[in-house]
A and B are shown apart, each in its own frame.
Chain A
């Protein structure tokens, strides 16, 4: 267990709908990252938040948005869902307090199925 939690574990919805995925980082971690992994694909970086502020953006669609709350948990909102959005969505967290890059620890993921 990495200490990163994600809910829900599975989500099945229809095209055009909107869903919210939730992530709680490890205790003490300030950074949260979101990744999308389609079937048999690599990890596509979506977005990073650090202590409530957006720090880095990857290939995140305009239909997707995220935020990090004062208690450091994060939510990823996916709207106007399409079939191609079906994927595993991972959250990861890291401390990011020192001078060096830190290890990212991954949550168990949310499997999104869009029908």
Chain B
């Protein structure tokens, strides 16, 4: 069935360094790939998304890349800050189909 694999499950980086989280998806018809950030006990919040007609999208310190051929997409956070510490979820979906979430990455920023 449809599946989204996310790696790593935990990630610790020094403040100021970059963090990269990778996801692969199985449904080749997927055309929408959002990323959510979830702080402890709070709701998942959309931080960036990309559609299949675009290869890369950037918003300040956050960027997402998509390789449709390999069915990979990645989240890049540059110049990490303490407030970036959270759990990040990738997801994949297509029209009129449920969204499939990855298992999450717990990102910790070391001072």
Contact = CB atoms under 8 A, between A and B. Distances in A.
Report if A and B associate in a common complex.
Answer: yes
Nearest to B101: A43
Main secondary structure of the interface of B (DSSP, over half): loop
Contact of A100 (B31, B89, B101, B102): B31
Nearest to A44: B101
Contacts of B89: 42-43
A55 B96 contact: yes
B44 A43 contact: yes
Contacts of B98: 33, 45, 48, 55-56, 58
Interface centre among B42, B43, B51, B104 (most CB of A within 10 A): B43
Give the interface residue-count category, chain B. Answer: 20 to 34
Interface string A41-63: 01101001000000110100000
B109 interface: no
Contacts of B18: none
Contact of B43 (A55, A102, A108): A108
Given A43-B89, A90-B43, A106-B44, A101 B101 contact: no
A2 interface: yes
Mostly, the A contact residues are loop
A25 interface: no
Contacts of B32: 100-102
B71 to A, nearest CB: 16
Contact of B95 (A58, A101, A106): A101
Contacts of B97: 56, 101
23 contacts: A42-B102, A42-B103, A43-B89, A43-B101, A45-B98, A48-B98, A55-B96, A56-B97, A56-B98, A58-B98, A100-B31, A100-B51, A100-B95, A101-B32, A101-B93, A101-B94, A101-B99, A103-B46, A103-B49, A104-B34, A106-B43, A108-B42, A109-B43
Given A45-B98, A45-B101, A104-B34, 12 more contacts: A33-B99, A42-B101, A90-B43, A100-B32, A101-B31, A101-B97, A101-B99, A103-B49, A106-B43, A106-B44, A108-B42, A109-B43
